[in-house]
Amino acid sequence: MIIVGDIGNTETKICLVNSKNIIIKRVTLITKKINYPLLKKSLSSLSLKDKVIDKCLFCSVVPKSFNEIKSFFNKTYKIKCTELKKLKLNKLIKIKVNYKQIGSDRLANAISVINNKDNFIILDFGTATTFDVLIKNTYHGGVIAPGVKLSLDTLSDKATQIPKISLKKTNKVVGLNTISAVRAGFFWGYEGLIDNIVNLIKKETKMSFKIIITGGFSNLFKNSTKTKVTLNKDITINGLIRATTLIK
């Protein structure tokens, strides 16, 4: 069995995967709350003392949390954890941009789907809204826009007249009150942002792409854009599973 995990700015997902690369258990934690007691309590459900773990791989954009998790697995179960960017990824993917400036989660997403025949744009609704461009077997860079939830929370925090709002799909553009106006602004604003950026990428590269969406608000937009998209909630984890083949 193997352990793979995605440490994001907001959430951390840790999965136990069997020999057939099927996720059999998963645990989700709030990244900023990760510490030894929380890990001990939360990961007890994985029953790791009864299992042989061959590999442990994480992608992380929060080094402090990865070090905490790495230390926990080593001290508690004698399991050595590796961070994705420590591997020789050029065996799986060619990277055209500055390697040090690409988030590990974005590399995991790319590794999950990349092949020698198709072009992809991966749209990830995380703390930031990111677009990653893959042409055949090469990562060509991407676009980073403000995250939906981060922007929504910031608006509520900075504007005293605007309450905390849960984002929902709205059929009307013109809101009749503060809540419906904000929902319309965010929903149709991001819908337009998605279509516009995808179209600009196509225009700039003069290529067609398969569009994959993932992350927190992907369900909200999967049937709402003019752009045809495919939803893949486990793209990051699947990329990590694929990358474990590089661990000796």
What distance in Å separates the CA atoms of residue 224 and residue 117, rounded to the nearest whole number?
Answer: 28
Do 98 and 77 form a contact (C-beta atoms < 8 A)? no
Radius of gyration from C-alpha coordinates of the chain? 19
What distance in Å separates the CA atoms of residue 53 and residue 1, rounded to the nearest whole number?
Answer: 5
Query: What pLDDT does 193 receive?
Result: 92
Residue of 119, 117, 115, 149 lying closest to 131 (CA atoms): 119
Do 88 and 239 form a contact (C-beta atoms < 8 A)? no
Query: What pLDDT does 46 receive?
Result: 85
Stated as kind and residue range, the H or E segment containing 31 is: none
Query: What pLDDT does 176 receive?
Result: 86
Which domains are seen in the chain, by residue range?
Answer: 2-86 (3.30.420.40), 94-233 (3.30.420.40)
DSSP secondary structure string, 212-237? EEEETTHHHHTTTSSS--EE-TTHHH
**DSSP state, residue 79:** P
Query: What pLDDT does 165 receive?
Result: 83
What distance in Å separates the CA atoms of residue 235 and residue 6, rounded to the nearest whole number?
Answer: 11
Counting as low any pLDDT under 50, the low residues of the chain are none
The catalytically annotated residue of 6, 50, 54, 105 is 105
pTM of structure: 0.89
Query: What pLDDT does 72 receive?
Result: 94
What distance in Å separates the CA atoms of residue 9 and residue 7, rounded to the nearest whole number?
Answer: 7
**How crowded is residue 179: how many other Cβ atoms within 10 Å of its Cβ?**
15
Query: What pLDDT does 105 receive?
Result: 93
132 is annotated as an active-site residue: no
Q: 11: which 2 tokens?
A: 């959430």
What distance in Å separates the CA atoms of residue 105 and residue 66, rounded to the nearest whole number?
Answer: 13
Specify the pairing of strand 94-95 against strand 138-146: parallel
